Amino acid sequence: MAQTDVIPVPPLTTTEPRPMTRLRRHAPRGKLTTRSQIALQALCLLIAFTVLFPIVWIFSLALDPRDLARPDGLIPPGASLDAFARVIAQPTSDEISLIELARNSFVLATFVAGFSVFVGVLAAYAFSRLKFRGRELLMIVILGVLMLPAVATIAPLFIMLNGLSNVQLPLIGEIEIRRSLIGVGLAIVSGALPFAIWNLKGYLDTIPKELEEAAAVDGCTQNQTFFKIVLPLATPALAVTAFLGFVAGWTDFYFVSIFLNSPDEGFTLSLALNKMVGSFGQTKWSDFAAFAILFAAPVSLVFFFFQKYIVGGLAVGGVKG
């Protein structure tokens, strides 16, 4: 698993003189000549510039009070948070505030994360630890579903969930499933669940079996072993998988845009963003930039601070986009 922060410390100086110096045409390991250090630093800075360019530009745009199409300077003169205030109040022409949009996105994301991890870890445990007929076949089925893009089942899910109108649910009352966040959430889970199973199975495989065998010797049943030994040990993977499920729900676009018709059915941040992009003529640039920042910030910050746990999982499985 790739870890970004573990950098092997090279021996900085080799004290003993090396034999056969004639063969070494360049500086000893761990040292660079000043010239190549400068050249490589220049290259790194160039890459850093390309990475940072869109990000800095958007930040600068969001702070600019004059709604210029382009920022002139890192922090524009008279920088203000007006654009943020505007988009928090009402980002698009729909009568819905960013708080409500974010709440809908949050509800959706939490549902996807919780549901897929809870159901996923049970299946992952069975695949990782138990021997039974058809295990390999079922795993291939899961992998096959994982390869399918989310769009591949969009038509039948739309038709099926559309048929579930006037459903009575406890606490909520009568709803049309398709035009609700419940329908959207179920549709997103169809992609998030196979990923959760696959990702968690990969992690459970790395937990040594001896612990469970010891627990079994001490008289633990299979269920007790699962809940008391395996689940606590798998907490990091559960958190990462839940986070990736959360991101899938937080940024889902296909299902919300196809399923939901009006803002009161639970419009999310992604729909507002789509609307802002669709009307670039009328949208203020600074508003778009501010909205993009507020939309990305919650997941990007979590990602940034926990990247060493998350990136590994991403590189192995990834979420459907």
Partner 1 sequence: MTAPAMSLPQPRRRRLTPDARTAVLYLLPAFLVMGVITFYPLLFQTWMSFTDFGLKNLNPRNPAPNLVGLDNYIQIIQSKLNIPNFEFLRLLFFNLWWAFSNVVIHVILGVGIALLLNTNGLRFRRFYRALFILPVIIPPLIVATVWRYLFDDSNGAINTVLQGIGVLFKIPPETFKIDWLGQVNDPIPFIPLPLAYFALLTANSWLGWPLNAVVATGALQSVPPDLYEAAEMDGANAWQRFKVVTLPFLRPAMVPYAIYGFVITFNLFFLSFFMSGGGPFGRTELFVTQAYKLVNDFQLYGVAAAFSVILFFLLLGITLITNRLARATASYAE
- Helices then strands, each counted (H, E), the chain: 14, 2
The correct pick among 92, 180, 270, 286 for binding partner 1 (CB under 8 A) is 270
The correct pick among 83, 108, 189, 215 for binding partner 1 (CB under 8 A) is 189
Q: Closest distance between partner 1 and the C-beta of residue 152, in Å?
A: 5
Q: What are phi and psi of 173, to 5 degrees?
A: 95, -155
Residues 219-251 as b/e (b if ≥16 CB within 10 A, e otherwise) read ebeeeebbeebbeebbeebbbbbbbbbbbbbbb
Longest dimension (CA), the chain: 84
* Binding residue count for partner 1, defined by CB under 8 A: 103
- Please say which residue, 97 or 307, places its beta carbon nearer to partner 1: 307
Asked if 76 interacts with partner 1 (CB under 8 A), we say no
Q: Which amino acid is at 96?
A: I
With CB under 8 A as the contact rule, which of the stretches 83-91, 168-176, 209-217, 284-292 interacts with partner 1? Answer: 284-292
* Cβ 220 vs Cβ 228: under 8 Å: yes
The residue whose two tokens read 């000893």 is 28
Structure tokens at 197: 């199973």
DSSP bridge pairs for 174: 168
Site residues for partner 1, 191-250, by CB under 8 A, read 193-194, 197, 222-223, 226, 247, 250
The residue whose two tokens read 């021996």 is 11
The correct pick among 79, 88, 107, 138 for binding partner 1 (CB under 8 A) is 138
The correct pick among 37, 224, 261, 279 for binding partner 1 (CB under 8 A) is 37
Site residues for partner 1, 245-264, by CB under 8 A, read 247, 250-251, 253-254, 257-258
* Cβ 243 vs Cβ 306: under 8 Å: yes
Q: Closest distance between partner 1 and the C-beta of residue 17, in Å?
A: 15
Contact string (CB under 8 A) for partner 1, positions 142-181, x = contact: --xx-xxx-xxxxxxxxxx-xx------------------
Site residues for partner 1, 5-34, by CB under 8 A, read 5-8, 10, 20, 23-24, 27, 29-32
